[in-house]
Amino acid sequence: MQGLFDGLDEGTQRSLLKRASRRRRSMEREAARAQREKSSIAAHSAKRRRVRKVQVPEQREVALLLMVEDGLAGGEKQRADGDVGVVTAVYSGCCDVRTDDGVRLAWLTSDVARQQKTLLAVGDRVVVEDADDERHIVREVLPRRTRLSRPDPHHEAMERVIAANIDVVVLVVSVQDPPLRPRLIDRCILAIERGGARPLVCVNKMDLPEDREAALAPLAAYADAEVSIVPVSAATDEGLEALRAAIRGKLCVFVGHSGVGKSSLLNALIGEDFAITGAVREGDGRGRHTTTTSAMVELPGGTSVIDTPGVRAFGLWDLRAEDLGWYFPEFDEWAPACRFHNCSHTHEPDCAVRAATESGSVSKYRHATYLRLLEELSGEAG
């Protein structure tokens, strides 16, 4: 263990161990979730879906895993039964797949096509084979390392995977035109962390507010929770270099509420019209969708960006109320001191989390966010 940290200062070691601990808890939750999926799928059809097996490594292995995710180790292996590629766009019954030979159109097998919204997303690694009729066929979707998903808007019992194997999810927001939507941010960050990726809040349109400090003040609670905040302006190019540096060498997906300027921001980053842009509607301050399907584009420096359609709501897939506290890392220091091991941090006596909130050690806004989400999840369960 010590050899892994040779040459690192004490602060960096603590930071790495903290990230490793959070990653380990995330993997434990994913293992439990995978087991529930396995039981459900076996009852329906054992052949329908391949369930990822998740092993919970020791702390040293988690630290090494973080190094792999940061690009310091690891590599892609070629499959003997076909070419391994990355899905760059998804259509009905087929998808674009980038391999060493370029981008090719590949058709889905009937098993994958039936559950396409769950089983296949931009960013997925797939095995592609040549069929007898000279078409390319997706034979297998390889296990995902991360994902961003939400309930399907038309079928809430179905998971819709937005993007797969991403390193960073860039949540694009604006503080003006349209105004900031903290509840959407809360739900998105929760979904991002559940899926194993890292959230980054990109605040666009910073050329509009007269008082920048006051405009950014509502985001302080997220910064306290170790979420990166990057203020930018697609109109003036402010902050674009900082954003490029934050995502350099990563596979990232851009998501955001309609009208926040996500497409304009991507055009400014890429330097060309990657996405069609539109104006915010007058009257209600809502945006119009200018991206209708997800697609991946390559940027210099090994960066890959996935653009997605704008969202007006973001549901949480398969999250139980009793598991919500796991996704508020600022509670970790205090929760062990609660009188009850299953404390909900709402009404129980001698709750250390509530005491820390009252003393200012835990953000009052974040605790209020937790209470609101807990009430919503409890209502959905009921």
Residue pair 86/121 in contact by the 8 Å Cβ criterion: no
Q: Is the pLDDT of residue 291 over 70?
A: no
State phi, psi for 54 to the nearest 5 degrees.
-115, 125
Going by their DSSP bridges, the two strands 136-141 and 102-108 should be labelled as parallel
The DSSP result for 295-321, as a single string, is: EEEEETTTEEEEE---BS----SS--G
Strand partners, 174: 204
Asked whether the beta carbons of 306 and 318 are under 8 A apart, the reply is: no
What is the C-alpha to C-alpha distance for residues 374 and 344, in angstroms, rounded to an integer?
A: 9
Task: Tell me the pLDDT tens digit for each residue of 15-67.
Answer: 556 556 655 655 665 555 555 544 443 443 333 333 333 333 333 344 334 44
pLDDT tens by residue, 129-138 = 987 767 899 9
Question: In the chain, where are the structural domains located?
Answer: 3-69, 83-141, 147-307, 321-381
Per the listing, tokens 């390319």 go with 136
The answer to whether the Cα torsion of 344, 347, 349, 353 is positive or negative is positive
By the 8 A CB rule, do 292 and 345 touch? no
CB-based contact 125:88 (threshold 8 Å): no
The span from the CA of 256 to the CA of 1, in Å, is 40
Q: Where residue 150 falls among pLDDT bands split at 50, 70, 90? A: confident
pTM of the model: 0.69
* Structure confidence at residue 353 (pLDDT): 95
Domain 83-141 has CATH 3.40.50.720: no
Q: Quick one: what percent of the chain has pLDDT higher than 70?
A: 67
Which has the higher per-residue pLDDT, 67 or 269?
269
The tokens describing 251, both together, are: 């596979």
* Fold (CATH) for 321-381: Ribonucleotide Reductase Protein R1; domain 1 (1.10.40)
pLDDT value of position 284: 41
In terms of CATH architecture, what is 147-307?
A: 3-Layer(aba) Sandwich (3.40)
What's the confidence (pLDDT) of residue 25?
59
Q: Is the pLDDT of residue 359 over 90?
A: yes
What pLDDT does residue 312 have? 57
Q: What's the chain's Rg over C-alpha atoms?
A: 21
| Cα–Cα distance, 191 to 185 (Å, whole number) | 10
Residue 14's pLDDT is what?
59
